[in-house]
Every structure is written in C-alpha cells, then in structure tokens.
Amino acid sequence: MKKSVIATTLLIGSLLTAKAEITVTELLDEAQNSVKSAFESGCPEISPYEYAKAETYYKIANEETSKINLLAGKAAALKSIDWSLKAIAKRYGEETDTTLKVPFRSLNIHYQVKAKDKKINPAEARIFTEFEILKNKIEDLYTKHVLECSPENIAKAETYLEAVGGLKFVDPDTGIEKKVKLTRIDQIIFLNKTKKYIALAREDVFSDKDKDGVPCYMEVEQGTDPNVSDLKNNKEEETKETETTKTIPFEEKENPLKVQARIHFDFNKYNIKREYLPYLNVIARYLKTHEELKVKIIGYTDNIGSKAYNDKLAYKRAKAVKDYLVKMGIPASRIEIIGKGKEGYLFDNKNWLNRFTNRRAEFFVMEVSTKQGK
C-alpha cells in the first residue's frame, strides 16, 4: 500500500516538472490504481468526501477521453490522483483541507466569461447564470453542515460544477497551469449532474435518520448524534421525574430548553421555514409530556431597518411560533412571547450569514422549582 502511494506521489511530481509528453492512457491507468488504493485503504468510510471527489474525477477523465477531449481527460485524471492521495492521507490521520472544518465554506470555483460574450452568446450567459446559482446553493448547504450529513453527494456536486468552470492541468512542456474548457453540451450535462447531487445532498441534510423529528443538520448544530434518537434519551430522563412538582408551590425560573431551541428567518419575514417544522414538532411533544412547564419565545432581527419596525417584526416572529405550537395542542396560556428586535445579536451583522443567524426566535422554559413553600 505504501509503495503504491509513494509511486503515485512521485508520478504527480514528475508530471508537474517533466518536459516529456505523457499519454492520457498512462494517466488513466495511474488514476484507476490510485482510486483502487484509496478504496482498499477504507477511504469510502473514513474519508468519504475526498474519496468521492477522486472517484468522480476519474469518471470525468474516462468520459472526456472517450470523446477525444484528451486534455480534459488528462486534467481530470490528475485531479483524481490528487484527491486519492488526500483521501489516503486523511485515512492515516493527516489533515489535508482545513477549510472543511468550518461551518461555512466559500467555494474557490469560478466560471470566467467576458461581459461582451454574455451579450453576444445567450447560451453562454445562461450557463454562467446557472453556474452561479448552483455555486450559491452548494455554499448555502455548507451553512447546514452538509459535510457531516452528506459528504459523498456534496463532493460529487462540487466536482461536476468545477468541471463546468473548466478543468485545470499543468502543461508538461511549459510547467504552466492551464484550464481546459469543456464543450457546451458537456457543460450542460455536468450542470444537470450538479443539480442532481445538490438535491440528494439537500435531502440528506434535512433527513431524519433516527426518526426523532430533528433533521440531520439540526442534530449537528445541537451536538447530538443524527443516527441516535433523542426521543429515547428524553424518555429515559422522564422516567426519573416525579409528579410531585405539580402540587408544590413554586417560583418561576428561566432555563434553556433541554434540546437546543432556536429557529431562523429569512430577511423581513416572519413565516416559519418548512425545514423547521419537524423541529417544532419535537418541542411540542416535549411540552405535552411536561405539563408543568411554560415556555417563553423571544423574537430577534438583524440590524437592517428602524428600531420600531424591527420591534414589531421580532414580535411577529415570536407570535408565529406561538401560533404553531398552539396549533399542535399547546395551550396559549402556557406560552409567553416577546419581541426584542435589534438587540441580543449572536454575531456582528457584517455579512448575510451573520444577519441570517441573528434573525431568530429562541425558546426558554419556566421550570417548577423544587424549593418547598412555607
């Protein structure tokens, strides 16, 4: 295994510096061996993102070579070898891409087209527009922990989109990095493949693998395992509680809800986003099984707009959540709502992601104190 990795590394180094021409067939053979080595090392399970990229670039290399687009075939084969090495390195504990650790990732993928070309060629303009839309969708999925929820599908989506923007390679005669542009039909085919894998990745992000009503990305946010049901854990906690608190005089005390309780809103909106409904259903079930609890919902906004307007908008956000919980069977008398507007920011408001994070409704419960009254 180590000999194969070393040989592959030496091959890449020679390709970047050698003057002699190397055939696309030789590159495809080496790419195939590299992907095979990564597979046999257990990379599909341990480094699925990197392995999926290596495998997808190898498929692109074969497709382009079969269409006599030899430069694109070479470029994709080199990419495949590179990502196979990254997958194997990660398999053995070497981190290869620190950007994958952050919750939001800006893709370094570009589709370069001159403004005059977009005016002259409507097809080119449509491809450019579609490229940017899909790129934004991928970046948005990174804010929802797609790397943890669907590493293989997001890797494939990125790979096909990068191919649409052009496949880079190092010219063996000059050592200069160049970019091979695909044919228009291939660009359209790869855009459609990008759409397919974005859809699959999004489905995984919002999936409820453990059937506890909480989507994968929310489980990651709150630090719970998306493959283990939280309802089971809650049930175990409930068996330890007694009903004596219902008859003991109490003083109200605010504490965060046991599950992370926060939802976010689009700009200038107070309607609840569809992806948060399973989350609210879990909260409603929790409140139904804890009748001694009251809940306080606080709405917030970003920093755009006047204070008066945002105070009203924040209240409407809190009320929208209350209305949904009431619809789910929670008495309105157990729910208090407040609109705080332009305050209590979680982050500064310097970019759209921070503003989105600040536009939220948070939940607090009023728990019964165990302190005995006189």
Cα separation, 12 vs 74, in Å, equals 12
Helix and strand counts by DSSP (H, E) for the chain: 15, 7
Model confidence at 110: pLDDT above 70: no
Model confidence at 210: pLDDT above 80: no
The pLDDT value given to residue 283: 82
Cα separation, 300 vs 27, in Å, equals 56
The pLDDT value given to residue 111: 56
- Selected from 1.10.10.10, 3.40.190.10, 3.30.1330.60, 3.30.70.890, the CATH number assigned to the domain covering 240-368 reads 3.30.1330.60
Model confidence at 329: pLDDT above 80: yes
* Cα–Cα distance list, 166 to 135, 196, 363 (Å): 14, 19, 47
Cα separation, 185 vs 166, in Å, equals 13
pLDDT, mean of residues 131-140: 91
Residue type, 226: P
CA dihedral 319, 325, 326, 331 (to 10 degrees): -110
List the structure tokens of 11. Answer: 């091959």
Cα separation, 293 vs 325, in Å, equals 14
**What pLDDT, in 10s, does the model give residues 231-252?**
444 444 444 443 433 333 334 4
Residue type, 307: K
**Residue whose C-alpha is closest to residue 73's, from 87, 85, 62:** 62
Instruction: Tell me the average pLDDT of the chain.
Output: 77
DSSP type of residue 173: T
To the nearest whole percent, how much of the chain has pLDDT over 90? 29
Residue type, 227: N
The pLDDT value given to residue 230: 52
CATH 3.30.1330.60 domain residues, the chain: 240-368
**Residue whose C-alpha is closest to residue 342's, from 290, 373, 291, 299:** 299
Cα separation, 317 vs 151, in Å, equals 33
> 243, 312 in Cβ contact below 8 A?
no
**What pLDDT, in 10s, does the model give residues 292-327?**
888 889 999 999 989 999 999 999 999 999 999 999
- Cβ neighbours for 132, distance < 8 A, ≥ 6 positions apart: 111
List the structure tokens of 113. Answer: 């087209």
- Where is average pLDDT lowest: 90-104, 177-191, 204-218? 90-104
**Residue whose C-alpha is closest to residue 100's, from 136, 142, 131:** 142
The pLDDT value given to residue 15: 47
> 74, 169 in Cβ contact below 8 A?
yes
The pLDDT value given to residue 101: 42
Across the chain, the runs of DSSP E, i.e. the strands, are: 167-170, 177-180, 252-256, 262-264, 294-300, 335-341, 360-368
b/e for 306-345, b at 16 or more Cβ within 10 A? eeeebbbbbbbbbbbbbebbeeeebeeebbebbbbbbeee
Specify the pTM: 0.56
String of DSSP letters for 34-96? HHHHHHHTTHHHHSHHHHHHHHHHHHHHHHHHHTT-HHHHHHHHHHHHHHHHHHHHHHTT---
pLDDT, mean of residues 346-367: 82
